[in-house]
Structure 1
Amino acid sequence: MSYNFPSPREEEEKRLLVVLEQVGKRMRKEMALLGERRGDVVGIRQEFWDDVRMNFSDSSEVAETWTSIVQQAEVLAERERSHRMASEAVEKLTKQFDTPYFARIDFAEEGGEAERIYIGRASLVGEDGETFYVYDWRAPVSSLFYDHEPGPAMYRVPDGRIEGELELKRQFVIRAGQMKHMFDTSETVGDEILQAVLSEGSDTAMKSIVATIQKEQNGIIRDERHKLLVVQGAAGSGKTSAALQRIAYLLYRFRETLTPEQIILFSPNPVFKGYISRVLPDLGEANMRQMTFRELIEARLGRRFEVEDLFSQTEALDASDGAPEGEAREQAVKYKGSEHFFLTTENYLKRLKQEGVRFRTLRFRDKTIAAEEDISQQFYAVQASDGFATRAAYVKRWLLERLKAWVDSQMGEAWLEEAAELVDQEDIQRAYVDVRRSGGFHDEVFDDEEQMSLRLKRKVAEEAIAPIVKAVRSYRFIDAVATYRMLFESRPLFAYCAPDGKLPKGWEWMNLRLEESLSRKRIDHEDATPLMYLSEALEGFRRVEGSIQHVFVDEAQDYSPFQAAFLRRRYPRARMTVLGDFNQAIYVQSQDSGGFGGWTRLMDAGVSSVLRLTTSYRSTEEIVAYTKRILLPEDAANIAPFHRSGEKPTLAVCEDGGELGERMAADIAQLLGRGYGTIGVIAKTARDSGDAAALLKEILAEDIPLTLVTGGAAELPKGVSVLPSYLAKGIEFDAVLVWDASSRRYGQEKDRKLLYTVCTRALHVLHVYSIGEASPWLPGSGGPR
């Protein structure tokens, strides 16, 4: 008698149905609760005032009325919170019904039997509260899947480590509740799964990679030991994805003590912010705080000055390339981002503890309320050992008292008498109420009218100086700009503060440039971070966000050493995770900093770790091989492609822009016809991309979607995106078409890494076009390697 035993595939499909049934039960329950809570919320809102007892006849009734309102509001808030939680649960269960899990491991602890463990984006527990159908990918036991192949294995728990035998590793591709693929693997994550995922088309938003996390990425995600984690990764090696999964892991691991508001991620540009915004919600977590370094500068300096951003600086340097003015500016940009200038600024701050801080005189109608000399005297009357924070806070209190005394001194002034006569009826009524509350307007009191007049005049005087009071509360009595300017006005002072006692090359030009730009209320980008640092230091870093526990910096190779040190000072208690690729250091401010610009020197070696990701998963083998040849051999040595084949990149040399536009338009139409959903046309600068977009729109059919992406864009559109090189950082496209990679546009050594960065945005297809002679850095151009 023969038996037909079910195959492993059949067993897994049967088990999948059991899990989907559990998800369905949970979903029905949550949907019923959601409907009930929605009804509660609507009903309470409609009947809110009907259920509140309104009575204002005396003070006790007013208090009772207020209590009734508060109680009803609390009931509404609780129901709204329950409704929101039920809605989030339904959303999570919907995702689980689509893909409940992606892996299975069989693990036997030492001395025990093997347990089947299924791993997914979120856990799924049975109604008994004990049966685990799916484990969250962030659970300690799930690390076995990422870190080990079958055989002896271990995983860490808060109390230590658990050792045993990993008997099976199995991976699944499940879509819409249907099992598409199943693989047993002896590798960390099977190549079949990776190839299936990487061969999919790009999207306008980054996807979660929990099913394809590699061992080296898992080490980054789960690192809890180091205060500084520096990740050097090749283009397409999954740096940003690993960072986002790390944030999700930290929120899961420390969910009792860590919230998304205590994590901040610095992104390279607004486009990238939108691109990654979907990853954490996709994992069931709220997004962390996200900002660009530009936004930090703008919030601090943008109210009073026109502050140049990094992209405008890059455009300006490109426009003046080769001219004496351009060379001098480039020299200034490099120096003001250097560690030498940071140390100079640090020494200047030490000097300012003794003397030299500049202040703004407080005036009203050309009359001095507090002179700069008086403010300085009060500031330096506080002991230097107390620090800038104590001094600034003391002067603020002193000035507020001075302003209060000034109001008293104005009660008999003619301007105030005139202004008081022009107040409206509402202000008069308020003054009347104030006097009555204080016991006025009785027969035996004769100065009620005078009291009312005084209150009106005081109100007018206080409103007149309200902007000054606001400025004092915001510490604007400290003139950080004038204090910064002084450092460049005095050669002896600068040399005294410089760590080596020397002036930088081009110091005179920097001095004149700073004077000229500040006179026009403009701040060059290279001056923004030093000025922001000086300003915050003089105020005692009063706006420092001490609640921030983790700082993530993406594209860290583009930050100057000065900016890196500033962020460390601004978030002194935070752990830092910085990610980048020194082969993509495209900005002048960081080109002489060795790629990471001093990040590794921010903390002691004992609490720091430098990790490297060398495998490029984004692009095909052909594209990786092509882009490696753009770099110097020593820079490309450690870059390895993942085994995914595709078509070879192409280089088209055109006679003029017209031919380039025609050939590119034909290729775009063909690529769209082949099903590629995201196509990036990448030019060097904003001007170049504007010209390219205008020409392509004339040639392409009207039904082909084409969008010119600018620095202010927050989302990446579907279809064809035309954008400058610096906005493409961190983003990927199904196909990349490089606009005019000629020797005229990319012919200098400093353009090599920029061209590499542009070309490595491609997942499947790379076409390069040149007007005339191609860049010497391109393979096949005939130029030097």
Structure 2
Amino acid sequence: MSSNQTPRDEEEKRLLTVLEQVSRRMRKEMALLGDRRGDVVGIRQEFWDDVRMNFSDSTEVGETWSSIVQQAELLAERERSHRVASEAVERLTKQFDSPYFARIDFAETGMESEIIYIGRASLVGEDGETFYVYDWRAPVSSLFYDQEPGPAAYRVPDGKMEGELQLKRQFVIRGGQLKLMFDTSETVGDEILQAVLSEGSDTSMKSIVATIQKEQNWIIRDEKHKLLVVQGAAGSGKTSAALQRIAYLLYRYRETLGPDQIILFSPNPVFKGYISNVLPDLGEANMRQMTFRELIEARLGRRFEVEDLFSQTEALAAADGTAEGEARESSVRYKGSEHFFITVENYLKRLELDGARFRPLRFRSMTIVSAEEMSQQFYGIRAADGFGNRAAGLRRWLLERLRTWIDSQMNEPWLEEAAELVDSEDIQRAYVDVRRSGGFHEEVFDDEEQMSIRLRRRVAEETLAPLIKAVRSYRFLDAVATYRELFESRTLFTACSPDGKLPTGWEWMLQRVEETMGRKVIDHEDATPLMYVSEALEGFRRVEGDIQHVFVDEAQDYSPFQAAYLRRRYPRARMTVLGDFNQAIYIQSQANGGFGGWTRLMAPEATSVLRLTTSYRSTEPIVEYTKGILAAEDAVGIIPFHRKGEAPRVIACKDNGQLSEQIAASINELLAQGYGTIGVISKTAYESGNASALLKELLPDDVPVTLVTGGSAELPKGVSVLPSYLAKGIEFDAVLVWDASEVRYGKEKDRKLLYTVCTRALHILYIFHTGTVSPWLPKP
């Protein structure tokens, strides 16, 4: 650097050099993209013109087929090239906007210092050797996240590289222009964090690669442990770190790991949409993503009406304070517990010897195979072969019995009558079948009889098709009756219970199971145990062994039973679970310490438990205020990032009419101040529906007000009105709490729910209430 050139001058000059490289690459890729687009369009238009069509004999047909395949392969190759070029242009466009965010100067021991720039994606010169930018996931990039200037080291696949970190510099580059630049001795400088965190919220989560903190980087790059449990304060970047971890794993193991081998369990559909852009923004395809509700629906939803977690929450809120509500709460807590999981495990061991229930195969009034015959066949197979082999053996036996039964019905009146009613297409197919088998020539005398037999067989097979399909799907196993049996026998339950005792409210649970399942309705608390029993009887044939990594967000809301079930369903997968004890808002997990049974899923030496304490989402005044909602022991360790802002406001209203007017007025003010996302959060879905209707009447027509429901797939711009449990993991520029009164949030179980609601705010938190305010809010 010349004596009159400042570090900023040097960096701006270097930025221009990089942008020129990006521009040059982009021009090439755009030209290639145009060529490939022209190729694809041309091949599609001329596809059949270039295919030599000749069906005169078998040889010509073979050559015609080869010509079609060749042309199709050419088209597929050009389409792949077009897709690759398109992805390259998209990546380079992002790089032109912000090619890198950090620089480190590192001198390996005994070597000269090397200047390394770090960005979202690597950028290599045309010579294939000059690295202008290193990918943030490259081993050397960990120096930026983990080390301070001075002696430093980073790990590579072959060991460790040691040396001296001489400089750490951070940048904010937008639109190809250098906006901010800082030298820092910290892992990520506060100035950069201040700049990024002060930006407005959006309807989708952003990548955090430029602001990853040291403790987040440990989560992202951990390759040692099979189970990674992350307890993090609200807004501490748990989910962001998990998504960057997925991107890192896809980069680190790109030869052996694909996005379809990673699955993320999200808390709700809204959250799924909220995070859907993070990985594509980093140049990676999205992993598989689903909610636990979707898993239940896929397994049980076709045959039963299955209650979801949100409906359960609404039902419990409606019955709050009643004897029925208290009994249901007790049942929900118990059926999610580790005690019940052990009870079910012991029950399954007994079922290896006797007791599994079966559905008889019936056709009209006729029993083809009775439940007793199935039981004899099932238990006639050695116990050592396990449920899976027994179920598969019974399935084969039943299919053979169905074929034999069809043979026995060939001359029965019902079948002859049905065969007489077949349409002309069935007759034509029967004719073709007989002709292909050598019929309809002068030496054959029973052609009509053969056609009649084939028609009757076809009719019988089509009539029994639903029954055959049910057998192939293992529907002969009666998981519901088997599960109910556990509750219908007091002796059986106590024999399976780990302490030989019945749970409190066992009689109520028995009545509830009989009443709901008798109507083909499954309570949410019964869904996971029922799935577990069902899949155990089938030998866990549905386990997904190809999944290598399972991520569970908001893990504190899963019961120990659900945690154990997921472990069984993905037996070969490493697991990363993330949550916050202070946001355990559902009954099924509140009595289980937040994380329930997660830490006991794997051996201690394969498990790592990490804690994120700094809250980055909200301003310092909001974090300090929301800490006061929690019990003192729960708030210990939550540290606000020092970002200044407006203190939260608590606003008293005389009634709901004034409350809605005050909130509408606040929305108008906040929109005028430039806040893009505003969340109006009520306690229940019923309340949010009313709130949405009132606000739409009070606000101007050009103010978008969206009611967010359990089925919503994305978060809109403007004003979102939603119930408390759908706000999990989401953030808004401003949060307006709808009626934080003692009536709504007065019980101990409401404390963490109110904390969760209030911690959704980035910059502004207004809390409105009627009557007496919730006792959990800090006193002024």
TM-score (norm 2): 0.99
In structure 2, the residue matched to 1:298 is 297
Distance 2:554 2:165 in 1: 37
- Equivalent runs, 1:573-722 vs 2, <5 Å: 573-722=572-721
- Equivalent runs, 1:748-767 vs 2, <5 Å: 748-767=747-766
Q: Deviations over 1:683-702 (max 9, x none)?
A: 00001111111111111111
What SS does the corresponding residue of 2:210 show, helix, strand or coil? helix
CA displacement at 1:164 relative to structure 2: 0.5
What SS does the corresponding residue of 2:744 show, helix, strand or coil? helix
The one-letter code matched in structure 2 to 1:740 is D
In structure 2, the residue matched to 1:166 is 165
In structure 2, the residue matched to 1:385 is 384
In structure 2, the residue matched to 1:192 is 191
Q: Deviations over 1:588-607 (max 9, x none)?
A: 00001111001001111000
In structure 2, the residue matched to 1:284 is 283
Distance 2:39 2:407 in 1: 56
- Equivalent runs, 1:60-99 vs 2, <5 Å: 60-99=59-98
In structure 2, the residue matched to 1:139 is 138
Distance 1:287 1:595 in 2: 28
Distance 1:566 1:126 in 2: 49
CA displacement at 1:423 relative to structure 2: 2.0
Distance 2:419 2:203 in 1: 60
What SS does the corresponding residue of 2:235 show, helix, strand or coil? coil
- Equivalent runs, 1:211-610 vs 2, <5 Å: 211-610=210-609
**Structure 1 range deviating more: 134-143 or 447-456:** 447-456
The one-letter code matched in structure 1 to 2:85 is A
Distance 1:430 1:66 in 2: 27
What SS does the corresponding residue of 1:50 show, helix, strand or coil? coil
Distance 1:571 1:42 in 2: 43
**Structure 1 range deviating more: 225-234 or 74-83:** 74-83
Following TM superposition, where does structure 1 have runs of at least 4 consecutive aligned residues deviating by more than 6 angstroms? none
The one-letter code matched in structure 2 to 1:262 is Q
CA displacement at 1:3 relative to structure 2: 7.2
The one-letter code matched in structure 2 to 1:666 is A
CA displacement at 1:408 relative to structure 2: 1.5
In structure 2, the residue matched to 1:59 is 58
Distance 1:685 1:116 in 2: 55
Distance 1:391 1:37 in 2: 55
- Equivalent runs, 1:98-117 vs 2, <5 Å: 98-117=97-116
Distance 1:397 1:576 in 2: 36
CA displacement at 1:366 relative to structure 2: 1.8
**Structure 1 range deviating more: 319-328 or 420-429:** 420-429
Distance 1:570 1:154 in 2: 39
**Structure 1 range deviating more: 199-208 or 67-76:** 67-76
Q: Deviations over 1:622-670 (max 9, x none)?
A: 0000000000111101100001000000001111001101111111000
Contiguous gaps of at least 5 residues in structure 2: none
TM-score (norm 1): 0.98
CA displacement at 1:521 relative to structure 2: 1.4
Distance 2:72 2:362 in 1: 47
Distance 1:81 1:401 in 2: 47
What SS does the corresponding residue of 1:745 show, helix, strand or coil? coil
CA displacement at 1:59 relative to structure 2: 2.7
User: Do the aligned partners of residues 3 and 428 (structure 1) sit closer, same or farther apart at CA in structure 2, a change above 3 Å counting?
Assistant: closer
What SS does the corresponding residue of 1:778 show, helix, strand or coil? coil
Distance 2:59 2:403 in 1: 37
Distance 1:149 1:119 in 2: 16
The one-letter code matched in structure 2 to 1:251 is L
Distance 2:647 2:2 in 1: 52
CA displacement at 1:276 relative to structure 2: 0.3
Distance 1:269 1:391 in 2: 37
The one-letter code matched in structure 2 to 1:435 is V
What SS does the corresponding residue of 1:107 show, helix, strand or coil? strand
Q: Deviations over 1:78-132 (max 9, x none)?
A: 1111111111111111101111000000000000011000000000011111000
Q: Deviations over 1:442-476 (max 9, x none)?
A: 21111222222222221111111111111111111
Distance 2:489 2:616 in 1: 53
2:197 is the counterpart of 1:201: no
Distance 2:192 2:504 in 1: 55
In structure 1, the residue matched to 2:39 is 40
What SS does the corresponding residue of 2:762 show, helix, strand or coil? strand
What SS does the corresponding residue of 1:488 show, helix, strand or coil? helix
CA displacement at 1:4 relative to structure 2: 5.2
The one-letter code matched in structure 2 to 1:324 is A
Distance 1:729 1:3 in 2: 53
What SS does the corresponding residue of 1:179 show, helix, strand or coil? strand
User: Do the aligned partners of residues 495 and 372 (structure 1) sit closer, same or farther apart at CA in structure 2, a change above 3 Å counting?
Assistant: same
Distance 1:25 1:118 in 2: 19
Distance 2:28 2:65 in 1: 37
Distance 2:358 2:71 in 1: 52
CA displacement at 1:780 relative to structure 2: 2.1
Distance 1:310 1:395 in 2: 35
| Percentage of matched positions with identical amino acids | 80
**Structure 1 range deviating more: 430-439 or 8-17:** 430-439
The one-letter code matched in structure 1 to 2:99 is P
The one-letter code matched in structure 1 to 2:313 is T
CA displacement at 1:436 relative to structure 2: 1.9
Distance 2:40 2:403 in 1: 49
The one-letter code matched in structure 2 to 1:370 is V
CA displacement at 1:65 relative to structure 2: 2.1
CA displacement at 1:421 relative to structure 2: 2.2
Distance 1:333 1:218 in 2: 37
CA displacement at 1:369 relative to structure 2: 1.4
The one-letter code matched in structure 2 to 1:34 is L
Distance 1:733 1:320 in 2: 31
Distance 1:691 1:713 in 2: 17
CA displacement at 1:533 relative to structure 2: 0.6
The one-letter code matched in structure 1 to 2:457 is R
CA displacement at 1:715 relative to structure 2: 0.3
The one-letter code matched in structure 2 to 1:505 is T
What SS does the corresponding residue of 1:704 show, helix, strand or coil? coil
Q: Deviations over 1:738-764 (max 9, x none)?
A: 000000000001100000000000000
User: Do the aligned partners of residues 3 and 575 (structure 1) sit closer, same or farther apart at CA in structure 2, a change above 3 Å counting?
Assistant: closer
The one-letter code matched in structure 2 to 1:448 is D
Contiguous gaps of at least 5 residues in structure 1: none
CA displacement at 1:425 relative to structure 2: 2.0
**Structure 1 range deviating more: 261-270 or 412-421:** 412-421
In structure 1, the residue matched to 2:18 is 19
The one-letter code matched in structure 2 to 1:181 is L
Distance 2:410 2:81 in 1: 56
In structure 2, the residue matched to 1:745 is 744
What SS does the corresponding residue of 1:210 show, helix, strand or coil? coil
CA displacement at 1:149 relative to structure 2: 0.9
The one-letter code matched in structure 1 to 2:304 is F
Distance 1:74 1:414 in 2: 55
CA displacement at 1:619 relative to structure 2: 0.3
Distance 1:285 1:427 in 2: 51
CA displacement at 1:779 relative to structure 2: 1.2
**Structure 1 range deviating more: 228-237 or 18-27:** 18-27
In structure 1, the residue matched to 2:779 is 780
CA displacement at 1:768 relative to structure 2: 0.1
* Count of residue pairs brought into register by the alignment: 780
